[in-house]
Amino acid sequence: MNEDNKDIEFNSVFDLYTRVKPALKSKLKELKREKFEYIKEEDIWNYLVKKIWIDAHGLVLCDVVNDILNAENKKIDAFVKEEHQKRKEELLVEELDLL
């Protein structure tokens, strides 16, 4: 196998995240154009990790980029709102525990 066909390997999730950052930025621009101004790059990543790749094994770089670019904006939005609601509920429980 020549060097051009060698699979790209990543030493950490951070390395992968850094490698796909241009795709995340592109998706973020798309979301901003559709008025989802509050969504961040990390939200897109977390949506994919928690909802799309939860049971994935052996993902390759092209699949990761494809998933980023083709993720449904309304599903990302719903995920972000759901996560925000969970955090609010957790904070409320923590506050009640302090009483």
Nearest CA to 19 out of 8, 28, 30, 27 is that of 8
Position 25, amino acid: K
Q: Do 31 and 39 touch, CB atoms closer than 8 A?
A: yes
What are the residue ranges of helices labelled H in the chain? 13-19, 21-33, 41-47, 61-70, 73-98
Residue 7 — very low, low, confident or very high, per pLDDT cuts 50/70/90? low
The percentage of the chain sitting over the pLDDT mark of 70, rounded to a whole number, equals 91
Region 5-15 average pLDDT: 75
Rounded Cα distance between 40 and 24, Å, is: 9
Of 4-18, 28-42, 83-97, the poorest mean pLDDT is in 4-18
- pLDDT over threshold 70, residue 17: yes
- pLDDT over threshold 80, residue 1: no
